[in-house]
């Protein structure tokens, strides 16, 4: 999968979640999206989502953008090479 395909899939997943919550009572919508993504999306996925948001992805549904202020932005960048606390190989 290329980077573009990965991005496309991530946006589709975020939009699917938003589509469900758009049908819910108004007060629950943005909060519902944010809670769902915080609960089930691994930091790498949230990082990619914020990459899309920061780029101003036009294909994200407005509800995702509205919810993004409540989505936790991962603190540790999920980059290749970050040893993440593993000090040495065995």
Partner 1 sequence: MTLIHETDYGTPVSRSEKQVTLTIDGRSITVPEGTSIMRASMEAGIQVPKLCATDMVDAFGSCRLCLVEVEGRNGTPSSCTTPVAPNMVVHTQTSRLKDIRRGVMELYISDHPLDCLTCAANGDCELQDMAGAVGLRDVRYGYEGGNHVRSRNDGEINARWMPKDETNPYFTYDPSKCIVCSRCVRACEEVQGTFALTIEGRGFESRVSPGAHEHFLESECVSCGACVQACPTATLTEKSVIAIGQPEHSAVTTCAYCGVGCSFKAEMRGEELVRMVPWKDGQANRGHSCVKGRFAYGYASHKDRILNPMIREKISDPWREVTWEEAFSHVATEFRRIQYQYGRDAIGGITSSRCTNEETFLVQKLVRAGFGNNNVDTCARVCHSPTGYGLGQAFGTSAGTQNFDSVEHSDVVIVIGANPTDGHPVFGSRLKKRLRQGAKLIVIDPRRIDLVRTPHVEAAYHLPLKPGTNVAVMTALAHVIVTEGLGAEQFIRERCDWSEFEDWAAFVSQEAHSPEATESFTGVPADLLRGAARLFATGGNGAIYYGLGVTEHSQGSTTVMAIANLAMVTGNIGRPGVGVNPLRGQNNVQGSCDMGSFPHELPGYRHISDDATRETFEKLWGVTLNNEPGLRIPNMLDAAVEGTFRGIYIQGEDILQSDPDTKHVSAGLAAMECVVVHDLFLNETANYAHVFLPGSTFLEKDGTFTNAERRINRVRKVMTPKNGYADWEVTQKLAQAMGLNWNYTHPSEIMDEIAATTPSFALVSYDYLDRMGSVQWPCDEAHPQGSPIMHVDGFVRGKGKFIRTEYVATDERTGPRFPLLLTTGRILSQYNVGAQTRRTENVAWHEEDRLEIHPHDAEQRGIKDGDWIKLASRSGDTTLRALITDRVSPGVVYTTFHHPDTQANVITTDFSDWATNCPEYKVTAVQVSPSNGPTEWQEDYNDLSRRSRRIAGKMEAAE
Binding region for partner 1 (CB under 8 A): 1, 3, 6, 9, 12-13, 16-17, 19-20, 23-25, 36, 38-45, 74, 78-90
Q: How far is the CB of 56 from partner 1 (least distance, A)?
A: 22
Q: How far is the CB of 69 from partner 1 (least distance, A)?
A: 19
Q: How many CA atoms lie within 13 A of 36 on its CB side?
A: 18
Nearer to partner 1, 58 or 87 (CB): 87
User: How far is 85 from 26, CA to CA, in rounded Å?
Assistant: 42
Q: How far is the CB of 22 from partner 1 (least distance, A)?
A: 8
Nearer to partner 1, 56 or 84 (CB): 84
User: How far is 50 from 18, CA to CA, in rounded Å?
Assistant: 16
Q: What is the DSSP string of 58-81?
A: TTS-HHHHHHGGGSPPPSS---TT
Residues 6+ apart with CB under 8 A from 19: 61
Nearer to partner 1, 58 or 75 (CB): 75
């Amino acid at each position: 999968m290329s980077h573009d395909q990965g991005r496309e899939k991530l946006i589709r997943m975020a939009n699917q979640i938003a589509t469900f919550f758009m049908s819910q009572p108004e007060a629950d919508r943005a909060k519902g999206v944010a809670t769902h993504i915080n609960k089930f999306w691994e930091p790498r996925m949230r990082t990619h989502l914020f990459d899309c948001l920061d780029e101003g992805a036009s294909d994200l549904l407005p509800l995702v953008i509205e919810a993004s202020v409540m989505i936790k932005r991962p603190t540790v960048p999920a980059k290749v090479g970050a040893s993440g606390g593993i000090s040495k190989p065995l």
